């Protein structure tokens, strides 16, 4: 296991802890997100419904930063769930679009959108199409979705 991969697991565990802070919803997943700079220092973090009832974890983390923050193009974003590629709230940009706009370098996720609320999430594919490295830590998927069991059919 490389040092980078080992670090990824630590940050993902932090994101999982944040996901547990999300107010539970019958219609949306609880997700945690952490943005880490190239120097390995946390820049921002967020969780589902942190600031309002519709905000997503990655969105909440990005909303705390200047969109032109010079650390973003070198950053890694850890999200417990695959970033959404479309949203029920039409007035808000999908997290995939927000991440592309921010210009982040890497995205690390633990589990993929299972199609409970959105039929076909293509967040990972879309990020990769734009040259962003996407890592899936499948061994942490169970833990990362453990607070969403009430939503699994
Ligand atoms: Zn989202």
Summarize pLDDT for 81-106 with one digit per residue, the tens.
999 998 877 789 999 999 999 999 99
Q: What is the pTM of this model?
A: 0.93
- The rounded Å distance from CA 48 to ligand 1 centre is 9
Q: Phi and psi dihedrals of 146, rounded to 5?
A: -60, -30
Average pLDDT over residues 59-75: 96
SS3 57: helix
Ligand 1 centre to CA of 26 (Å) is: 16
Cα 102 to middle of ligand 1, angstroms: 14
Residue 43 structure tokens: 């820049």
Tell me the CA–centroid distance for residue 148 and ligand 1, in Å: 16
Report whether pLDDT(64) > 70.
yes
Cα-to-centroid distance, 85 and ligand 1 (Å)? 7
Least confident stretch, 2-6, 14-18, 23-27, 35-39: 2-6
pLDDT band of residue 153 (cuts 50, 70, 90) is: very low
CA atoms within 13 A on the CB side of 21: 16
> Is 143 labeled as catalytic in the residue annotation?
no
Q: In what order do the strands lie in the sheet with 133-136?
A: 42-47, 32-36, 76-81, 106-111, 133-136
Write out the two tokens for 23: 């107010």
Integer CA distances (angstroms), 78 to 13, 26, 68, 82, 152, in order: 10, 24, 19, 10, 22
Selected catalytic residue, list 50, 58, 59, 113: 58
Q: Which of 17-31, 61-75, 101-115 has the lowest mean pLDDT?
A: 101-115
| Residue 99, pLDDT score | 97
Query: What local confidence, expressed as pLDDT, does residue 59 receive?
Result: 97
- Does residue 108 contact residue 16 with C-beta atoms inside 8 Å? no
123 Cα: distance to centroid of ligand 1 (angstroms): 9
Average pLDDT on 55-84 reads: 96
pLDDT digits (tens, 9 = 90+) for 102-120: 999 999 999 987 766 766 7
pLDDT at 23: 96
């Amino acid at each position: 296991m490389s040092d980078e991969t080992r670090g990824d697991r630590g940050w993902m565990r932090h994101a999982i802890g944040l996901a547990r802070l999300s107010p539970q919803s019958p219609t949306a997943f609880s997700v945690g997100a952490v943005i880490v700079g190239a120097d390995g220092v946390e820049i921002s973090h967020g969780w589902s419904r942190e600031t309002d009832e519709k905000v997503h974890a990655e969105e909440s983390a990005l909303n705390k930063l200047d969109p032109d923050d010079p650390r973003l193009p070198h950053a890694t974003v850890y999200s417990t769930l695959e970033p959404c590629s479309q949203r029920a709230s039409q007035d808000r940009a999908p997290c995939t679009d927000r991440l592309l706009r921010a210009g982040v370098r890497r995205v690390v996720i633990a589990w993929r959108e299972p199609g409970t609320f959105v039929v076909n999430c293509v967040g990972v594919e879309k990020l990769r199409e734009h040259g962003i490295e996407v890592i899936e830590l499948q061994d942490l998927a169970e833990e990362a979705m453990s607070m969403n069991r009430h939503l699994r059919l």
